Amino acid sequence: MLMGNLDPMSNEVRTRREFLEFIGRGTLVVSSLPLLNACETVSKAVTPEPFKALSPTKSDSLSLVNGLKYDIIARWGDPLRADLKFGTNNDYLVFFSANEQGTDGILWVNHEYLAPALVSGRVKGKAPTKAQAIEEMKTVGGSLIRIRKSPEGQWSLVQGDKYNRRLDAFTEIPFAGGVAVEGKTTAMGTMGNCAGGFTPWGTVLTAEENFQLFYGRSVFEDGKKKHIGSQYGWEKHFDNPPEHYGWIVEVDPMTGSAKKHTSIGRYAQECATILPLEDGRVVAYSGDDAENECLYKFIADKPGSLDTGTLYVADIGAGKWISLKYEDQPILQKHFKNQVEVLVRCREAAKLVGGTPLDRPEDIEIDPVTGAVLVTVTNNKPKGNFYGSILKIEEKGGKGDSLEFKASTFISGGPDTGFACPDNMAFDRAGNLWLTCDISEEALGKGPYSSFVSNGLFYIPMSGPHSGKVFQVASGPVDSELSGPFFSPDGETLFLSVQHPGENSKSRNELTSNWPEGNGAIPRSSVVAITGPLLKNLQSGTKVDPIFDVPLLKL
């Protein structure tokens, strides 16, 4: 277990046992092990690389390695049904297949935030008119879209389908279990929908991350609550409390009905990754993506539900999950009125009980071979961590409901490994890791990021001679990041979000990107389906079962 700061370069000299563990799937240390480098050199001499990795490009395109192609499934503004339109800044994706072949189904898409200059045309920093706020509020939240693969292998959106739905900043969403937050049992809208998860009972979990953008946030000074205004200024027209956002929201893909879970706490919720327990209950892992914030896990107390259970925060140094249950913690009783207040002010509660501040925990995936919980820790610039890493949590005895774990650095970003600021992950059907990165647009190609000129998608083999090596697969258009990678059941399609191309455009007349249409068009975030022989080849070896399958829908 690592003590204190998770410095990726502070790995001590490994023993032979640990080295052998790496060969199997242990801790990856790419740059500091002569023994490992020697091994890689030998491997390279006898085994050709799986493909020629892409060199990142500044071009205003979605560039892919040879052997892959993409179809655009949906772009911001595309008509879905009646007057519903596909939202902007698409992020997390989960595909619910409606047939065994995986060629027809419903795709859930998060719409995280927006660029007001592109959406409503207002100047940065200027408060919105009510009409502008309404226009913006309709572009966030999430979409449910019916998609199909043609016999020729092309994916497309089924326009007009009755399952096409939108959740946006106007959707009325109740709190699970009738919990009242700020005196209300229902919230208006869901926003900041970043990454997410899905459950064994066939629902989507969408994570409300940067909730402060929309209605601001509350701070406490001398015990008095004070409101800090939002970036978008919607509170000028709609008086919604910030406490109604920052939750995990569960959505039924068949009906679009939703509920907000207070049980998993309120913070910049990045994701909710589910690990089923043997008795039908589940564990949900989630991170608070802000500098020096924490990693959490929730253990449900009933099968098939996230409504009630216990939330824990990680003490990384001690390797312990610490309870945030009001009854268990006198210090919480001293500072808060009740459990609901602990959950609403989760960040403060987590620090009081000894949660470890981390370098922006982002997405979480569970290794389907080892059961290790991988957490991208994207960066912490004020602390000098520019490249981030992937943290590995190994639960004691491999049990999801264990309250003890071992933490280590799985792989570190940087010019040597070829990626920086890891964000979203997905495992393919051969158990290999796919990773997207999120270097902020203004930092790309500059200073510590001089070798990183665009955001990309990466493939990391988890076994074989190239195990642990990072291969770039895709490079995104100008000002974009690639996010939300999600595999179809057969592994032959990788759904991917191309998020916020042209985000730094000053106005609709001064655009930094015209992707995907080109020719001076306004840039539009889009969901693409990546297919091709390379994707098949990379998964042609031993099949690895996922932690659990996405349940089949009956449409």
Positions in the binding site for Ca ion (CB under 5 A): 194, 362, 423, 438
194 part of the interface to ligand FEO, by CB under 6 A: yes
Minimum distance of Ca ion from residue 550's CB (angstroms): 20
Task: Please say which residue, 195 or 342, places its beta carbon nearer to ligand FEO.
Answer: 195
Minimum distance of Ca ion from residue 272's CB (angstroms): 13
Hey, what amino acid is at 38?
Answer: A
Beta strands in 354-455 (DSSP E): 358-359, 361-366, 373-377, 389-395, 405-412, 422-427, 433-437
Give the span between the Cα atoms of 296 and 309, in whole angstroms: 13
**Contact between 27 and 408 (Cβ < 8 Å):** yes
CA neighbor of 547 nearest in space, from 319, 301, 282, 361: 282
| 41, two tokens | 């050199």
Give the span between the Cα atoms of 40 and 30, in whole angstroms: 10
Task: Please say which residue, 132 or 389, places its beta carbon nearer to ligand FEO.
Answer: 389
- Which positions from 53 through 82 interact with ligand FEO, judged by CB under 6 A? none
Task: Please say which residue, 164 or 269, places its beta carbon nearer to Ca ion.
Answer: 269
Beta-bridged to residue 496, according to DSSP, are 528
Alpha helix stretches (DSSP H) within 185-253: 212-215
Minimum distance of ligand FEO from residue 286's CB (angstroms): 11
Minimum distance of ligand FEO from residue 99's CB (angstroms): 32
Minimum distance of Ca ion from residue 208's CB (angstroms): 12
- Which positions from 207 through 266 interact with ligand FEO, judged by CB under 6 A? 209
Q: How many residues bind ligand FEO (CB under 6 A)?
A: 7
Cα of first residue to Cα of last residue in the chain, in angstroms, is 47
User: Which residue among 78, 168, 208, 289 contacts ligand FEO (CB under 6 A)?
Assistant: 289
270 part of the interface to ligand FEO, by CB under 6 A: yes
Task: Please say which residue, 145 or 191, places its beta carbon nearer to ligand FEO.
Answer: 191
Give the span between the Cα atoms of 203 and 265, in whole angstroms: 19
Contact string 329-368 vs ligand FEO (x = CB under 6 A): ---------------------------------x------
- In the chain, % helix, strand, coil (3-state, to 5) comes to 15, 35, 50
Task: Please say which residue, 195 or 494, places its beta carbon nearer to ligand FEO.
Answer: 195
Minimum distance of Ca ion from residue 60's CB (angstroms): 19
Which of Ca ion, ligand FEO, none does 401 bind, CB closer than 5 to 8 A by kind? none
Residue 358: Cβ within 10 Å count: 24
Give the span between the Cα atoms of 508 and 327, in whole angstroms: 54
Place of tokens 């493909």: 51
- Which positions from 364 through 423 interact with ligand FEO, judged by CB under 6 A? 423
Hey, what amino acid is at 377?
Answer: V
Q: Which residues would be at the binding site for ligand FEO (CB under 6 A)?
A: 112, 194, 209, 270, 289, 362, 423
